[in-house]
Structure 1
């Protein structure tokens, strides 16, 4: 099928450049800079709350503001990159990201820091734009592995971002979280400018501002309801009203986009079975997996006097995430190779099943450090497989000119699922405490990890419901041509 919006046709099988090592490294640095900034601030939240003398609800907006703008920017800038050039938009996005990080580094009030984090969220566009650049410019046989590695950077940065801040905050103060992040972002900008060529694939048109407003308002309402559900109360009028508003706004968005010639999101893409099941699976995987990123360090920091936990410092607690980052680094390219050979449905199903195993270890054997390290290593394989398979399934199901918008929506689905899962997991952990203390009871962690295992079991069913077989059908063997019969003796 040929996309009429593609002005210069499909990209060639191989890029003009003789190698892809330099451009690929540039993309990795760009996406790593964003993924690190998602969680580097998490270990510093208690310090921020004390320094600015504010409440837990207010300081939580340091995370929520980033999440809200990143969700909106992912969809909008992915589409803008398809229209005006992915390299150009990637550099602009990273530049705004750098300015937000600089503002955070010099912040002297909680309001200024929250505003800076909102500006930082624009950097989320790095992921859909990077996927599009890989598909447009890399040799076809290298695309699955490259997308797998870029996808794994999301999780690696997420995990490593929980490890690095401990020593930085202890030695230099929380401002240095952002100064260190700024260095990585600037390196990413310079690398992209030096080694990435502009994409030859474009999808010209006009920006659908009505769609931007409706999608932004719907996603913002949904994420505010999720992020504030615990503090406001899940049954409160504010949270219920926001959920209703989100449903109405997103329904209107779908109705409007279905009638436009140049929509922000081509709703017809969502009707493709491969795209639809990938988005649903991403939502459920996000719900199941993201709780581990924050719950494991919290469990590790629990004093042993509570009957569980290891009394770890912030730095030591972050080390429990290192095995996950290491195995993810190897799992994602492996998933890319498996997918290229037999199709990406198999690695996605395996990702969910491996994730179930990881959370079973967390739930049933979290009383020893080595079992927690083992659970993290197993879960890292599942996360790596999942991120690589989801991205490749979406990319292979759409035209090159639609890569940005399609992968952007998949990222949003994963973010929404992750936000909901993390909030519910936190609520489960906080629902019961050790008698006479404010320390969460061990049963809360066991319940939360079990919930994640069940969610990934459901994600397995969603992945199996997707089109295609678990393995590609073997190519039919060629039948040798029969010799023609002679009509003469």
Structure 2
């Protein structure tokens, strides 16, 4: 852990100070803070609908978070490359803490949504953490460290779901956000104590104003996707936002390609390995990443619909935690495979597992006893594949662009996660089963979703197979 590595400017990073385990603890706590972002919001969402029954804007707590995360992940990663990962990581977690405080103190939906939007800056924690470990660890240990970050995110999400639920049940919905404040404060203290400062970087002149033009364009497109259910595919507002956003993105990309010091280095997307990794992440986000939404609904749907298991919210939370905990094995294992055989092979293994696991659920989902091992296999494959994709980006980009490249990967994740959520909702809505006056997805709807995700995993597998076998960096 005391190893020193050369930064892109030729300066040596300062060695990790304090106890050798301190740096690892700090990075893991940062991963916990990152996973608490959307998890806490999901946990308190049902309670928020009850607390603000007259408002239709409660769902914007989730929408605002995803819109902001798509922007902040790329910007935070790039600023980390330019100004130092530790410095920007501390800033990002501090701002996320402030956002959680605003949400906890909210007296109305508007203030609540604003607090959730500010919290979305936590999306930058993962790319900054990966940049920090790459800066301070030898290359041989890097894939395993990335796997540890991924595992910590998935497992802590399950724990946070349960803990935040207990806080909300015994206190109030505000307690969920105060719980997140506590997690972020602990992470900030740990990073400040045990993460070494980044080496000095020479100043560069960047046109921040035009460099940030992608943000409103991306938000316009994602907002349009989120509004498909409300507006419908024939609404002119929908296509105006999408077309307008794409035009602005095109103009922004043209400017960034010509800029000597771009805010976001679009040239990275000219690299075959980076393009394929991002495209594979897009299929993963639109498909297998929908695991939480699909499994939670299937677990709690009344058994009388002949398409659900009728579990309580608490039991469903425990089930989801049990499913996610396999990431403790899958992510580090994926890192070890990447260390020995390169990330390409780890990604191939993960995508094969995903395709087979989701296809098996077409039959296994009718029995809880059979569904659980199938779902565990889905979670295992997801952790294995997602860790491998982050390691693939690390392998194929220079060290001084780690934050930017992994941040861009998260942007693809955020965008296509929103698209995938709409696709899953449309497939589930295509068939309905009534129960006690309420409408739930029919069994055929779940079969369609499992088939759709299996096919998206196969598409990702095809893209991974096109990756070159050699390591670029």
Deviation per residue, 1:198-246 (Å, 9 max, x gap): 1227464234324443210121012112222122223322222222122
Corresponding residue of 2:297: 298
Per the alignment, do residues 10 and 343 of structure 1 end up closer, same or farther by CA in structure 2, a change over 3 Å counting? farther
Label 1:92 to 1:246 Cα distance change in 2 as closer, same or farther (>3 A).
same
Partner of 1:307: 306
State which structure, 1 or 2, has the greater radius of gyration over its C-alpha atoms: 1
- What residue in structure 2 maps to residue 8 of structure 1? 10
Q: Deviations over 1:3-38 (max 9, x none)?
A: x993235769xx465864211210111121121221
State how far apart, in whole Å, the 2-side matches of 1:53 and 1:236 are: 28
Q: Aligned with 1:7: secondary structure?
A: coil
Alignment partner of 1:439: what SS? strand
Paired position in structure 1 for 2:360: 361
Partner of 2:279: 280
Q: Contact 1:339 / 1:345 at 8 angstroms: preserved in 2?
A: yes
Q: Does 1:321 align with 2:323?
A: no
Aligned equivalent of 1:117: 116
CA contact (8 A) 1:362 1:449 kept: yes
Distance 1:331 1:417 in 2: 23
Matches within 5 A, 1:2-401: 6-9=8-11, 15=15, 17=17, 20-55=20-55, 58-200=57-199, 202=201, 204-401=203-400
Distance, in Å, in 2 between the alignment partners of 1:96 and 1:437 is 41
- Aligned counterpart, 1:487: none
Question: Is the Cα contact below 8 Å between 1:290 and 1:422 reproduced in 2?
Answer: no
**Mean alpha-carbon deviation: is it higher for 387-396 or for 112-121?**
387-396
Which stretch of the first structure deviates more once superposed, 427-436 or 337-346? 427-436
Partner of 2:451: 450
Aligned 8 A contact 1:159 1:293 in 2: no
Which one is further off, 426-435 or 441-450? 426-435
Secondary structure of the residue that 1:438 maps to in structure 2?
strand
Aligned residues: 464
Structure 1 residues 439 and 18: alpha-carbon distance in aligned structure 2, compared to 1, 3 A threshold: closer
- Equivalent-residue separation in structure 1 for 2:109 and 2:138 (angstroms): 47
The two structures have a TM-score, normalised by structure 1, of 0.90
Per the alignment, do residues 289 and 437 of structure 1 end up closer, same or farther by CA in structure 2, a change over 3 Å counting? same
Please, what is the CA RMSD of the aligned residues?
2.1
What secondary structure does 2:213 align onto?
helix
Distance 1:155 1:332 in 2: 9
* 2:3 match: none
Distance (whole Å) between structure 2 residues aligned to residue 401 and residue 34 of structure 1: 22
Q: 1:422 corresponds to which residue?
A: 421
Q: Any stretches of 5+ residues in structure 2 without a counterpart? A: 1-5
1:260 positional shift = 0.1
Secondary structure at 2:134 match in 1 = helix
For the residues of structure 1 that align with 2:21 and 2:210, how far apart are their CA atoms?
37
| 1:427 Cα deviation from its structure 2 partner | 2.2
- Residues 283 and 413 in structure 1, CA contact (< 8 A), matched pair in contact too: yes
CA distance in 1, matches of 2:413, 2:230: 23
- Give me the whole-angstrom Cα distance separating, in 1, the residues matched to 2:318 and 2:234: 37
Contact 1:101 1:117 (8 Å CA) reproduced: yes
1:448, distance to aligned residue in structure 2 (A)? 1.3
